[in-house]
Amino acid sequence: MVTAFDAFGGESVNPALEVVNLLPNELLAHRIVKVVLPTVFQKSRTVLMEAVRRENPDVLLSVGQAGGVSAIRVERVAINIDDARMPDNEGQEPIDCVIEENGAPAYFSNLPIKRMVSDLEARGIPAQVSNSAGTFVCNHVMYQGLFLADQEFPEMLAGFVHLPYLPKQVVSRPTLPSMSKELMVEALMQLLVTIIENTGQKDVILSGGSLF
């Protein structure tokens, strides 16, 4: 299962949605189910839970926009807090709200994040491990996915990938970085292949740390 969000924050498009829409419906004999999540704190959870319970996927990969970054970012961890710095698509703006009272303070992705970054790099695609998915709806959805895995779907792999802006999104602000749609589709395909091919194996030991 691959999820994407609708556009938010004044953007007319969301690179995650545009890229996920271009993925095939099958890859290496695995079915790909695409789910569009609203960029809304509560509603995204409802839609996600319903979809996961309906499909019981082997893998839940959520994809979002990180406007202003240069590289594909594979997230390491989701934290149990909502702190919006702008209203979501329904005007909600929670500040310092716990996501799940019964959840852990944080969940680490159980995807092979180091291998995922390394395989992108081997294809010449800029990528990095990210040590924060923020505190907006992206972190919220990543947290919910891993909470679901922890509570109900112990076999499910789950994680989150952040994409740069599309080139057309930065035409009016050309000092911001972007990545072409074609390269991001290639990247997501590779990420899914890496996940499928590494299932059941330990992640590689490669540095993906940050100093701060």
- Catalytic residues, by residue number, are 138
| Shortest Å distance, C-beta 167 to a second copy | 6
The token duo for 81 is: 């807090």
Reduced to 3 states (helix: H, G, I; strand: E, B; else coil), residue 61 is: strand
Q: d(Cα 169, Cα 165) in Å, to the nearest integer?
A: 6
Least distance between a second copy and beta carbon 104 (Å): 5
User: Residue 57 or residue 62: which is nearer to a second copy going by CB?
Assistant: 62
**Stretch binding a second copy (CB under 8 A), from 20-28, 29-37, 49-57, 88-96:** 88-96
The H or E element containing residue 185 is helix 181-197
Instruction: Select the residue interacting with a second copy from 46, 132, 151, 199 (CB under 8 A).
Output: 132
For residue 78, CA distances in Å to 19, 73, 113, 139 come to: 23, 13, 14, 6
Task: Tell me the C-alpha distance between 20 and 146, whole Å.
Answer: 20
163, β-bridge pairs: 65
Q: CA 180 to CA 164: how far, in whole Å?
A: 9
Q: Shortest distance, CB of residue 29 to a second copy, whole angstroms?
A: 29
The mark string for 140-179 relative to a second copy (x by CB under 8 A, - otherwise) is: ----------------------x----xx-xxx-xxxxxx
Amino acid identity at 181: K
**Is 44 or 80 the residue whose CB approaches a second copy more closely?**
80
Query: Where do contacts with a second copy occur on this chain (CB under 8 A)?
Result: 9, 64-67, 69-71, 73, 76-77, 79-86, 93, 95-96, 104-108, 114, 121, 124-136, 138-139, 162, 167-168, 170-172, 174-180, 182-183, 203, 205-212
